[in-house]
Structure 1
């Protein structure tokens, strides 16, 4: 037995692939807490939107805007605060605040119902907390996982998030039907309590140095300066903005319009989106099992080209079968892009700016998505959905090719270790 123990220790020290491939237990525990919290959020957001829709489109729009606006306005400040006091402390504070808020909201909603002002105030509270929570949550894997395991760690998180998103809507509908808005708030509080316990229990494995302190707003803007002056981060963020602006609206906005104009029916639209989801999950799970597929910048840019080809094929499809194949191609490209660009951004960020870079990343995605949803929706009414989808495909291919032409991005080997 002693000899066997010595052999095991020696193989581990020499770099046993099985030992190296395992994600730290602290990360797995944290991820469980994140996914439980995401499930609670999915249920609660459905309940919030459902309650707001009872008052018509204007109140529903105001409620959703009440979440988005403070989140966008405060993201950079939230990232600066997280870098200043540590991501874990910000997450603990955010979960504690939302736990208390959700319980109070449940009591108020039980006695008073869901008047519009309560729904809008709830949206504002959620948006403010998100502005601090999202950058901290995005930076947390870097504090729990070594750089060479980030692709697997983030892909596992992405796959879990996909499953939660698919099931959150139906689960929210059932819960709201049984327990109403107050019940959804209670469930949300329970998930925040669970995540809070997890965060208190875990400890970061990788220390991150603190940046010299200046004025908070100056620190917040410094995240933008660092992000867009970095040779790898700058093109990575531009690729991410292009994906958010020209790929995500294709799935959520343009596929339903394309199906209506082509008289395919709602079921066909669902099949196209489902095919995209299958392609994305399959690639994500491959990365979870085997790690990154190659140089992250090269793979990200190539994947965006592939996704663009899929979008282009979707716009040119004349049948549901062709559209489903195109959806599958989009999913493979989207999955490969997401599985490599997110670890690249997180691993390339200076250790003093982890949360601020994540704040910039979320901001770029949010602004691109909100702006392009409006623009593409308007263009689809004027020119038809197929023309707009083809245009999106051409833009994605062009941006992906420009990424391949960027030397620092294409050659970057961050996270590959000795590979």
Structure 2
């Protein structure tokens, strides 16, 4: 009898897909731990809560400022080289951060500068990386591939945060930051080994400005795309305000302290992993209709905190929200991969990222004053209402309800005329502009 052989990886997971997924898991483990370590590093030098927020903002602001430039460059240069260069910048910035903390000579302004460098690296990395995973598998497997990829990243985030907290307590934040720098080095090395011989040659326009205008036309020419980007500019801001500002306050005053809030966040993380598992089995035909419907549960955590519900109920709500987030993420990325031309993908992705992040700093900064003006329950109900209203409004967009998954064996140009498909959303197309 011949021995039973178990496949090391699925048949559709080729070398590039495996390298990209492994790199994302490694960097995710390091980065999620570093988020914990960075805050404690600021506190260890006598920094205040305001200083912690300053260092966090120092990373977010350059991320927002450089996103569009990063997207344009990623459509002009080989994307894997942009990713490797961004990983190198993140590795250097985190290594310097670690050295300063371990030497006991770190200052808050130095931490802010190094965090800003990390934000610049992320601004160039994210648009280049977006869609790379889906480009490594066939259309019929793209949804499953992205779901498995997301499961790995989310699992790494959960594990990394737990290990990071334990290591900060045992060895101090400096060593966790050093591990993050090493993780970026490993991830960049893995991405450097990608086989890009079959990938299309990059040809930019006359200038970066021309490329950005071209990317903008791609976004505004698709009602389903710009409406969802606009929706999430508000949805992400409301979720961030509820989870980063109001959630910890409710937990401290009404639920018994940080432990119940940590349990709720852990339940969300578990939900994201199981949501990814669900999407490896489910390929809904109406991509965006299903995806946008899955956004509706994002209104629940704010409502649960406004009541507030007991900890078990809050954990259940957060778990359901985690599942729904993954349903949206996979359907959204599948729609982008199907509809957006490959040579313009990074520019479109940069506008998507910009829309998703632009209002988050404003919302978190305004959360306190809004609470003082109207009260915390009213502020939380307002967050919930805005998520619901914006999501219901997007469901009124015909292309959102109409866009369907294309037959995998049809090329993009031929399949654009398939009945019920929004195609490339050319403004002259009667289906796209209906």
- Residue number among 63, 71, 76 corresponding to 1:71 in the alignment: 63
Q: Pick closer, same or farther for the CA change 1:170–1:230 going to 2, 3 Å.
A: same
State which of 384, 394, 404 in structure 2 corresponds to 1:393.
384
Aligned to 1:408: 399
1:29 equivalenced with 2:19 (yes/no): yes
Q: Which runs of 5+ in 2 are unaligned?
A: 1-8, 410-417, 419-434
Deviations 1:5-48 (A, max 9, x none): xxxxxxxxxxxxxx997333421221111110122222333333
1:293 equivalent to 2:309? Answer no
2:220 counterpart residue number: 228
Most deviating of 310-319 and 27-36:
310-319
Q: Aligned ranges for residues 2-401 of structure 1 at < 5 Å?
A: 22-53=12-43, 54-57=45-48, 58-103=50-95, 106=98, 110-111=102-103, 113-177=105-169, 179-180=171-172, 182-204=174-196, 207-208=199-200, 210-288=202-280, 290-308=281-299, 311-312=302-303, 315-316=306-307, 318-401=309-392
Per-residue deviation, 1:104: 5.3
Listed one character per residue, the Cα deviations across residues 358-388 of structure 1 (whole Å, up to 9, x for unaligned) are 2112211111322222333432333333322
Q: Bigger CA drift: 254-263 or 403-412?
A: 254-263
Gap regions ≥5 residues in structure 1: 1-18
Offset at residue 96 of structure 1 (A): 3.1
Distance 2:40 2:319 in 1: 31
Deviation at residue 75 of structure 1 after TM alignment: 0.8
Give the secondary-structure state (helix, strand or coil) at the position aligned to 1:22.
coil
**Cα gap change, 1:23/1:306 in structure 2, threshold over 3 Å: closer, same or farther?**
same
Aligned-partner Cα distance in 1 for 2:277–2:287 = 16
Native 8 Å contact 2:93 2:115 kept in 1: no
Where 1:232 maps in the other structure, the secondary structure is helix
User: 1:383 and 1:139, CA in 2 relative to 1: closer, same or farther beyond 3 A?
Assistant: same
Please tell me whether the aligned partners of residues 311 and 330 of structure 1 are also in contact (alpha carbons under 8 angstroms): no
**TM-score, structure 2 normalization:** 0.81
Distance 1:41 1:309 in 2: 28
Kindly state the Cα deviation for residue 110 of structure 1 after the two structures are TM-superposed.
4.9
- Are residues 193 and 326 of structure 1, via their aligned partners in 2, closer, same or farther at CA, if it must alter by over 3 Å? closer
Shift of 1:212: 4.2
Distance 1:329 1:192 in 2: 32
- Which deviations, in whole Å up to 9, do the C-alpha atoms of 1:219-261 show, x marking residues without a partner? 2344333223323321231233233123343333333333345
| Separation in 1, partners of 2:244, 2:39 | 17
Cα shift at 1:119 = 1.6
Taking only aligned residues, the RMSD between alpha carbons, in angstroms, comes to 3.0
Q: Closer, same or farther in 2 for the Cα pair 1:306/1:179, shift >3 Å?
A: closer
Q: Distance in 2 between matches of 1:194 and 1:244?
A: 31
Secondary structure at the aligned position of 1:405 is classed as: coil
Q: Residues 250 and 337 (structure 1 numbering): CA distance in 2 closer, same or farther, change over 3 Å?
A: farther
1:6 aligned residue: none
**What SS does the corresponding residue of 1:139 show, helix, strand or coil?**
coil
How far off is 1:84 after superposition?
A: 0.5
CA 1:181–1:325: 2 relative to 1, 3 Å: closer
Q: By how many angstroms is 1:321 displaced?
A: 4.3
Alignment partner, residue 3 of structure 1: none
Length-normalised TM-score, structure 1: 0.84
Count of aligned pairs: 400
Larger % of helix: which?
A: 1
Q: Distance in 1 between matches of 2:249 and 2:17?
A: 40
